Structure 1
């Protein structure tokens, strides 16, 4: 396990059906099996994949996890020095068992580690955690049931396979016997062409991609009526993105979910065709096989409606860290695991507020930027929003917000009016700034600290909003 036995099965049952397509290059199930089998003899005990998208990536990934081998997938755009340091750490930290002497394309023991995942941390070197074959097998079963993946689906995940969202989508399709497609790199026109000509029925992507595809698809009259499933991860869908996606892909169930690399899937919700329920902090109900509780810092269970640590118990949780664990990254309360995300349970399921480290303490009140950002994103005229806590002598911190206007500009008064009935008064920003772009790190993550730096340095990309 987790998926090599399935590749063998699909290759025997449906040898000529398509398994993987990358930028127009196709591999059948038999071709994938045969190519991966031929590559097993050259696979190391620990393989490091740092490659751009290709069918060869899928072949090497399958070969790299045969027997008791392990695979670490790195972003090929990371600096060479960082990649080298990670390779050296893996050589010293990962201790796999003996590899299969017959070099067969066969799964190793369920409890054995097969994947070394890398996630961003406070240091320059990403934290490294491990996953067992059994944890991914259980994740496949849960996600296939929750998202309704079928063998006749054609899944397109247009992002980099080095990202966990897309790597998992590839492996899930190999497990389910369902065709998987991706591109060499994300391109709106190429995605539209795949949807038009390749019978794509399922999209796996992040909200920013969905907005681009939907808005440009509507402008260019690209028919997405055949898409029946859209799975979004990374952040909540804002009202503008959801409305555009609804018009562009009118027959699709749109899923958003909460999870973490170390926890796997936690909770999610699917909006059937026609529904337009965006905004808010709700993120649906627990995945199959997952239990969710809200615990305080001492491990005591909190009542519904009270915020605390989102804690999970399931067979999908990772094994822990090879390095980078500061004792807070993945905590356990008697078998209930948390990555520090804060939230609460209500009648409609789990609500997520954000990371504790991001919390703003203003005049004795706890404010989560995530909640402010979701509210701002629902205001007409806002394309994107970010909130942060600015040092304040009187309040400790004050809430400030930056918005990227959708079109024609926007005023502070319009923003204040838009928040009037959707955000509590003590959570509303005291200052608003117009941004030419969202502040992001060199790895593409939105940075609240960078917003504060822009404001303090009077950066040209930010300007105060008047009334």
Structure 2
């Protein structure tokens, strides 16, 4: 494991079942195995190191290269093909330097899984500028995670999973591994659009969706507008950011027979907490700890925070990465001070939250996103969730902008593209301002900007840092309207 031995098994057990489908292209399990085996053999015959930087657009070719690269002792880094050439070159250079410094064993013979404790993946953290950090993942961390996630989300060989985002993103790359591990079919899109996603759902008889909330809202709304329901979809797995009640309601209208799961995790931590969405509580409650995981919320002094008290979320469990290959600035991924990183240490990515009396985790945002205005902490996710009740899902992104008196002001970016055809920017602004009047004074936006597009990371998550940059740089994509 993590999934090459399973791919071998399914290639024998169900050779002609589709393993990977991207647009009109598809590979069966036996075709994927054979293509990846040939690709791995060519690399071994060349004498090249067992390390690959994969730069490939969404397609079956990416799946072949990924499987070939991580077989045996191989290690892969998958870059987003849409990145600028200079950024991809910088990542390749750093990855090559990292690989050269490793004491890499001789490549394992044959198309099989390597040793459990060995590194197989350099995961690239998303960022808004500069070269992204790279964390290392062991085969064992994915093996343990794949076994639990398949069980928790009920993935079976009969499933067909659509992950409509870039295959290079960690959530979608994991969904590919999950499908190959369980003998189910993985579906992606050459280029995302709501219509392309709806076509795949119908044409490929999709039973599961794995996607971020912003994409779920876009697909569900388009499906309702076009009169196309969710078809055979019985499971929706949503992560990457908060799942607002409005998006959940929209998804339930569109896919009334689907069980909707929401989980919180991080690339460096893996799964942290999960639940069936909307059961027992709404935002910001995610749910209890994911199977195999322990959660501890700590204050700035490192001590355990009381029930309902916000602090940094620490995690202990088998899914945590091994740390950074490069880019470790000591701010993004840390062990609990005083704990032993070589043992069962607690780790954090500095997301903030609290646990309730039932032990469920509530996530209120990342520390780096937090707005400090007049000495008071404001979590932008909470303000977004409040304003979305009036404006609609996926219409509001909140960030802090510099202010000489207060330190920061609360600014809101408004986007009509997901508000439905009837809402103008003026109507959106009026709805938000009216609703904001009922918020505590420190949470009310004092500036509003009309957005020509949503500020998103490459994987479709809201990027508050990007909104901050647009505002500070007077980018045309963010126009001041109040």
The two structures have a TM-score, normalised by structure 1, of: 0.91
1:277-328 deviation digits (Å, cap 9, x = unpaired): 75x3222221110111111233211111111111000110001011100112
Equivalent pair of 1:40/1:63 in contact (CA under 8 Å): yes
Deviation (angstroms), 1:64:
0.7
Equivalent pair of 2:413/2:478 in contact (CA under 8 Å): no
Q: Which of 330, 349, 354 is 1:344 aligned to?
A: 354
RMSD: 2.5
Map 1:277-292; keep pairs closer than 5 Å.
Answer: 280-292=283-295
Q: 1:277 to 1:9 in 2, by over 3 A?
A: same
Q: Greater shift after overlay, 287-296 or 239-248?
A: 239-248
Deviation (angstroms), 1:459:
5.3
Equivalent pair of 1:75/1:163 in contact (CA under 8 Å): yes
Q: Which runs of 5+ in 1 are unaligned?
A: none
Map 1:155-166; keep pairs closer than 5 Å.
Answer: 155-166=161-172
- Paired residues, what number? 460
Deviation (angstroms), 1:250:
0.9
Q: 1:201 to 1:301 in 2, by over 3 A?
A: same
Measure the CA separation in 2 of the matches of 1:455 and 1:125.
Answer: 21
Q: Which runs of 5+ in 2 are unaligned?
A: 44-48, 340-344
Deviation (angstroms), 1:56:
2.0
Deviation (angstroms), 1:215:
1.5
Q: Which of 254, 265, 269 is 1:263 aligned to?
A: 269
1:249-291 deviation digits (Å, cap 9, x = unpaired): 110111222111100111122238xx7975x322222111011
Q: Greater shift after overlay, 67-76 or 238-247?
A: 238-247
Equivalent pair of 1:340/1:356 in contact (CA under 8 Å): yes
Measure the CA separation in 1 of the matches of 2:276 and 2:332.
Answer: 29
SS of aligned partner of 2:390: coil
Report what 2:84 is aligned to: 79
Equivalent pair of 1:264/1:317 in contact (CA under 8 Å): yes
Deviation (angstroms), 1:101:
5.0
Equivalent pair of 1:294/1:310 in contact (CA under 8 Å): yes
Q: 1:277 to 1:200 in 2, by over 3 A?
A: farther
Measure the CA separation in 2 of the matches of 1:19 and 1:189.
Answer: 23
Deviation (angstroms), 1:338:
0.3
1:150-171 deviation digits (Å, cap 9, x = unpaired): 2211111122211111111000
SS of aligned partner of 2:7: helix
Measure the CA separation in 2 of the matches of 1:390 and 1:99.
Answer: 52
SS of aligned partner of 1:415: helix
Report what 1:220 is aligned to: 226
Measure the CA separation in 1 of the matches of 2:64 and 2:475.
Answer: 50
Report what 2:4 is aligned to: 4
Q: Which of 449, 458, 462 is 2:479 aligned to?
A: 462
The two structures have a TM-score, normalised by structure 2, of: 0.88
Q: Which of 306, 312, 315 is 1:312 aligned to?
A: 315
1:324-368 deviation digits (Å, cap 9, x = unpaired): 001121110121100111111113611112222222222321111
Q: Which of 364, 377, 396 is 2:407 aligned to?
A: 396
Deviation (angstroms), 1:107:
0.5
Q: 1:209 to 1:88 in 2, by over 3 A?
A: same
Report what 1:35 is aligned to: 35
